[in-house]
């Protein structure tokens, strides 16, 4: 067999099918469903470091694969949604919770949210232990309008545990991590544009504890995210 014929056969029988599968799978992950590995505890106790979460990319938009161009706006992020977004600060993918919608007035007083002039209710849920270099903290249920979820507060509040009322601009969102004293979020780098929201996190796929040689946390497999 000639070298040219051999090259054509390898391309036809092996490389082209693999390339087509890669394009189809890549397009599906980019536009419909994806996963995201979480390396930090900024969303603790809802999402733990070492977890892989499922991202519904088509929750809000049907986009052209591998771009942020929306061809069909299917819905809008809601207050309390856990979203994957492109950080306005450095372009990295982050996982945060939406606490302020376009037009909302958002403030924080000693880690207690005030949304549109109404203080958010909090209920104590218990304590958690942190990693060896943390002091742990207390878990509260934060009752956002229309949604309740858990947050973690440390004994020593972070540097931005309070801020004056901010108005969320049209087409933007204010997001925060559930680990309020250890999260790099809108308090530091501002509002998130609608186009920068890539999808909604829906459940934990896999969970492994990096502090214990990545021992599986089987109780958290397929856990819905609230």
One of 9, 30, 87, 96 is an active-site residue; which one? 96
- Higher per-residue pLDDT: 157 or 187: 187
42 is catalytic: yes
**Residue 189 pLDDT more than 80?**
yes
Is residue 14, in this structure, part of any structural domain at all?
no
Is residue 143, in this structure, part of any structural domain at all?
no
SS3 6: helix
pLDDT for the residue 158: 81
Asked if residue 149 lies in contact with residue 80, where contact means CB atoms within 8 angstroms, the answer is yes
Structure tokens at 224: 């819905």
In percent, the amount of the chain with pLDDT more than 90 equals 65
Number of domains in the chain: 1
- Domain range holding 92? 32-107+167-220
The tens digit of pLDDT for each residue in 58-111 reads 899 988 877 777 888 889 999 999 999 999 999 999 999 999 999 999 999 999
Is residue 157, in this structure, part of any structural domain at all?
no
Is residue 179, in this structure, part of any structural domain at all?
yes
Mean pLDDT of 44-66: 91
Is residue 226, in this structure, part of any structural domain at all?
no
- Higher per-residue pLDDT: 32 or 113: 113
**142: closest CA among 133, 154, 134, 151?**
151
Q: Cis (ω within 30 of 0) for the bond into 45?
A: yes
Rounded Cα distance, 224 and 205, in Å: 9
One of 9, 30, 42, 161 is an active-site residue; which one? 42
Is residue 44, in this structure, part of any structural domain at all?
yes
pLDDT for the residue 24: 56
- Higher per-residue pLDDT: 34 or 207: 207
**Residue 202 pLDDT more than 80?**
yes
The tens digit of pLDDT for each residue in 98-154 reads 999 999 999 999 999 999 999 999 998 777 655 434 556 899 999 998 889 999 998
The CATH number of residue 173's host domain is 2.10.109.10
Dihedral, CA of residue 68, residue 74, residue 76 and residue 78, to nearest 10: -120
Is residue 210, in this structure, part of any structural domain at all?
yes
92 is catalytic: no
Is residue 90, in this structure, part of any structural domain at all?
yes
């Amino acid at each position: 067999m000639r070298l040219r014929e051999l090259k054509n056969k390898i391309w036809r029988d092996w490389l082209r099918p693999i390339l087509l599968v890669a394009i189809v799978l890549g397009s599906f992950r980019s536009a419909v469903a994806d996963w995201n590995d979480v390396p930090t505890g900024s969303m603790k106790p809802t999402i733990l470091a070492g977890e892989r979460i499922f991202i519904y990319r088509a929750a809000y938009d049907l986009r052209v694969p591998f771009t942020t161009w929306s061809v069909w706006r299917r819905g809008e992020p809601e207050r309390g949604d856990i979203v994957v977004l492109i950080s306005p600060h450095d372009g990295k993918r982050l996982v945060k919770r939406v606490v302020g919608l376009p037009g909302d007035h958002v403030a924080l007083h000693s880690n207690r949210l005030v949304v549109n002039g109404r203080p958010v209710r909090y209920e104590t849920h218990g304590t958690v232990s942190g990693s060896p270099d943390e002091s742990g903290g207390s878990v509260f249920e934060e009752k956002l309008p229309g949604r309740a979820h858990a947050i973690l507060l440390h004994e020593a509040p972070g540097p931005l545990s309070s801020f004056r009322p901010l108005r969320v601009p049209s087409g933007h969102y204010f997001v925060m991590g559930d680990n309020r004293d250890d999260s790099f979020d809108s308090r530091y780098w501002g509002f998130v544009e609608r186009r920068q929201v890539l999808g909604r996190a829906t459940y934990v796929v896999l969970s492994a504890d990096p502090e214990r040689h990545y021992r599986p946390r089987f109780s958290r497999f397929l856990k819905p995210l609230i």
